[in-house]
Structure 1
């Protein structure tokens, strides 16, 4: 059994779970506009947020949770990769330093303005496709996806793209009175550039979509072999806790299951 406990902070967008002292996983409630999991780390003297959800309202709730749990607003925000379900809440953290890999910054700059322009001109309509889904589990997933996109459509009038302020190439270290946190990239697997946040003292990592628990992986690069190589390097970290990009909190075993 993992020593995970629920946190008495109520949000309609996510369930907060305490993984270790000062380390919290924000596991999304499906169909609310959050979509991709996030997290909060009290480094000791500074607060770090990992990813910012799909729309600003859940990101605002995440900011409030960070303030409540750590007693201070976030100093740093990590963008693990360029996908919108992990970065479209960035604008809520206007006073924080947002960090990503250099390649993720480039991908966000290249892809996301055009994506926003497209969805504003042609909001996605998934209801018709959902009518043909017969499997009840797949239908449930499709219904949640439709609800997430409806939440994004509702947020479009005020949604603004906020890009990272600071980039790194391979490794960046945050030093706090409680934790040292390593921001690492082993290359691109789920996207052309993916980053994880490793807390070596407690064998814990926020992996974003490099590791997903009880979810089928998806990729927008041509060669998944690099993803397998990345998972091998993540496995070498000998993790106790894994906070995935999608699904519940897992263990190091889920890295091997993902492979």
Structure 2
């Protein structure tokens, strides 16, 4: 769906983002740590890390470190994700069930369930559908069409930029903003890639991604100069700012 329906990606992001927040909370909450067995927390964290890896690949927003996993959990999650990626190359029908079984066996939880043929076990439809208040609020947001007409790529990159800058001192964000502004004097083409920022080592930026970091860094560190940038991303930043980081 992500590849075939590009216009649905913002809605996928919203849905998966809230799932991600719940998964992180379940893995790091002190209350969960107090009442849930560590065995359960660890297995849950590993599977949620796999989800976070796919989320990062699809939307360029990395939440893996937020799960505060240990080295062994991270290693298993990386193995699982690699197996998942290889699954797409094989594509025989029903192979995903074999993958579930293998993962469960490695996590030593395969005794907790049995895979049953669909024809032998079909759940009856519920008598009524219960919709939570959160579902209603989400539907209202989507139906508002606020996101329609905006640059979806910029929204995604701005969320990533806000997350990156969240833990940096304001002075460091300011220095990054100034460096990107210097790069901008020679022009930043949205369609190009391979841009680098010395104060953000180890990263290569596409044009839209760099423009997003440009806008967000000024919004954080030099907001009084933001209107002078001439970047038409006010609506995108407004939407990106609604996401907790």
- TM-score bucket of the superposed structures, by smaller chain: under 0.3
Rg (Cα) greater in structure = 2
Return the structure number with greater helix share: 2
Return the structure number with greater strand share: 1
Q: If the length of structure 1 is used for normalisation, what is the TM-score?
A: 0.22
